[in-house]
């Protein structure tokens, strides 16, 4: 088989493939055998009918068309692997001339090539990420979070404070009209949690038990009831009781209650150890994400929309397959998450755009740093994919070449090498959160 590639304008290329006559004849023979095996012709055993008889039943052109499809699909993949070109989307072969027995067969295919973009700079990468070790403030915040869970409420003979609880009853109206559920009797309300607009909390602050207050405000657009947005709300509130939150002392008793420790120092040390472990686990991902963001920011050139569209479609298929494996219907997922189909599609496309840019940026870095993919790299990766099985790796290599996937394997190696270089050479600055 002979192949050649002609570079065209706008990132396109024309691949010319010539398949020798012997391969053409074999493909035709295979097509006749495959069709003959399916036919049931009186007087002939399955697969034994001669070609003229098969031509009479299905037509010679139909058999040649099947053979031609096999020739093109098989030879195109091998041509892409042989020329080591990376394509985007499906090839355009136009209207093909029909193959002829005993003759070489030549066809051309136009394809979009994966762009080879550049970087504005390929060195001096500096990234800032959260510190790998927990700070005293983070430890304190975690302990305070647990402390809140063990808080108790105590009634006080004092006006409502900004962080208090108040047992209240109220009657609400919207533009002077009552609405369903507008009367509430003796509800324990916690201030400062954003359960109601700030004006509601402000009206309560300073009101003593047994007192009353009025809250009036314009209902914001963020309301769960869109019909009320922009209208005037009025709440007549009665305060029955005020309770304040009492936090436990941070002592050995709290350590025993919260974590089963003998002393508070032991509990605090355990909190720090757990935070350090969690931060260490995510540290490498933090550095990688920040480094890739920095790298993508240096990418020069346009990213083809077709690449993003193809990646987004692939991610959508994977997403739905994952849902199916988990026994979740797509509509059920959308309802559970409150996501619209349009938003899901937008989110996945944004992710696809990000991934495509990261890959193109890594490829640009690979080239800028003068890296290369050796045949040994390729063989090692194929063997790795095959589970270190030498025999399986040999067969897989043939399949990858036939399917035109060897350039994709090289691409993965490029990404891996470029990312390793980036992680090894980026200066990491840790900052306390």
Distance CA 393, CA 401 (A): 12
Report the C-alpha dihedral over residues 219, 220, 226, 232, rounded to 10 degrees: 20
Closest CA to 82 of 27, 9, 19: 19
Q: What is the pLDDT of residue 336?
A: 87
pLDDT at 433: 67
In a domain, 328, yes or no: yes
Residues 332 and 423 in one domain: yes
Backbone angles phi, psi at 233, to 5 degrees: -105, 145
Residues 274 and 412 in one domain: yes
Residues 91 and 238 occupy one common structural domain: no
Backbone phi, then psi, for 214, in 5-degree steps?
A: -125, 130
Tell me if 144 is assigned to some domain.
Answer: no
* The pLDDT value given to residue 105: 96
> Bridge-partner residues for 427, per DSSP?
126
Q: What are residue 130's DSSP bridge partners?
A: 431
Length of the chain: 433
Alpha helices by DSSP H, 112-191: 136-149
Specify the DSSP element, H or E, that contains 166: strand 165-174
Is the residue at 127 inside a domain? no
**How many other CB atoms sit within 10 Å of the CB of residue 98?**
11
Whether residue 20 is found in the same domain as residue 90: yes
**Which pair of tokens denotes residue 329?**
């219907």
Q: Note whether 81 and 226 are same-domain residues.
A: no
Segments in the chain below pLDDT 70: 47, 433
Question: For the domain that residue 170 is a member of, what is the CATH number?
Answer: 3.10.50.40
Strands of 105-113's sheet in order across: 2-7, 12-19, 105-113, 87-92
Q: Mark whether 103 and 189 lie in a shared domain.
A: no
Token pair, residue 19, equals 């398949």
Question: Is 142 a member of any domain?
Answer: no
pLDDT at residue 431, rounded to an integer: 85
Instruction: Indicate whether 416 belongs to any domain.
Output: yes
What sign has the CA pseudo-torsion 34, 35, 36, 38? positive
Orientation of helix 264-296 relative to helix 136-149, angle to 10°: 120
- Residue 149 has which token pair? 């869970």
Total structural domains within the chain: 3
Statement to judge: residues 270 and 238 lie in one domain: no
Q: Give the CATH number, domain containing residue 284.
A: 1.10.3120.10
CA angle 361, 365, 367 (to 5 degrees): 120
Indicate whether 180 and 326 sit together in one domain.
no
**DSSP conformation class of 409:** H
- Residue 239 has φ and ψ, to the nearest 5°, of -100, 115
Task: Give the model's pLDDT for residue 55.
Answer: 85
The residue segments making up the domain with residue 346 are 264-431
Same domain for 213 and 274: no
- Same domain assignment for residues 183 and 105: no
Residues 31 and 162 in one domain: no
Q: Is residue 147 part of a domain?
A: no
Distance from chain centroid for Cα 111 = 27
Q: Which tokens is 194 given? A: 């954003």
pTM listed for this prediction:
0.69
CA-wise closest residue to 11 among 307, 296, 297? 307
Whether residue 417 is found in the same domain as residue 283:
yes
């Amino acid at each position: 088989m002979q192949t050649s590639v002609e570079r065209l304008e706008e990132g396109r290329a024309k691949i010319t493939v010539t398949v020798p006559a012997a391969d053409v004849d074999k493909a035709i023979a295979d097509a006749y055998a495959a069709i003959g095996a399916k036919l049931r012709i009186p007087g002939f055993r399955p697969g034994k009918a001669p070609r003229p008889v098969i031509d009479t039943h299905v037509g010679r052109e139909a058999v040649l068309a099947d053979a031609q499809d096999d020739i093109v699909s098989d030879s195109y993949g091998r041509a892409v692997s042989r020329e080591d070109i990376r394509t985007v989307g499906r090839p355009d072969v136009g209207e093909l001339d029909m193959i002829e027995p005993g003759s070489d067969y030549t066809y051309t295919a136009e394809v979009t090539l994966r762009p080879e973009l550049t970087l504005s700079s390929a060195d001096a990468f500096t990234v800032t990420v959260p510190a790998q070790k927990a700070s005293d403030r983070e430890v304190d915040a975690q302990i305070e979070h647990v402390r809140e869970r063990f808080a108790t409420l105590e009634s006080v003979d004092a006006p409502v404070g900004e962080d208090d609880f108040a047992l209240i009853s109220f009657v609400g109206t919207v533009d002077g009209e009552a609405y369903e559920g507008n009367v509430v009797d003796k509800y324990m309300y916690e201030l400062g949690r954003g359960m109601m607009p700030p004006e509601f909390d402000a009206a309560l602050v300073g009101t003593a038990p047994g007192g009353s207050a009025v809250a009036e405000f314009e209902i914001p657009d963020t309301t769960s009831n869109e019909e009320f947005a922009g209208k005037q709300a009025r709440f007549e509130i009665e305060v029955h009781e005020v309770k304040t939150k009492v936090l436990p002392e941070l002592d050995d008793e709290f350590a025993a209650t919260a974590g089963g420790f003998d002393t508070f120092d032991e509990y605090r040390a355990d909190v720090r150890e757990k935070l350090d472990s969690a931060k260490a686990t995510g540290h490498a991902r933090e550095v990688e994400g920040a480094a890739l963001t920095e790298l993508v920011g240096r990418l020069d050139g346009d990213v083809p929309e077709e690449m993003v569209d193809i990646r987004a479609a692939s991610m959508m298929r994977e997403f739905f397959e994952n849902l199916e494996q988990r026994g979740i219907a797509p509509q059920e997922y959308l309802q559970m998450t409150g996501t619209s189909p349009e938003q899901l599609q937008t989110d996945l496309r944004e992710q696809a755009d990000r991934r495509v840019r990261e890959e193109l940026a890594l490829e640009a870095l690979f080239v800028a740093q003068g890296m290369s993919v050796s045949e040994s790299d390729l063989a090692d990766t194929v063997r790795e994919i095959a589970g270190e099985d030498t025999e399986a790796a040999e067969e897989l290599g043939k399949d990858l070449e036939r399917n035109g996937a060897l350039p994709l394997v090289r691409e993965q190696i490029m990404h891996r090498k470029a990312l390793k270089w980036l992680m090894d050479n980026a200066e990491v600055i840790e900052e306390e959160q």
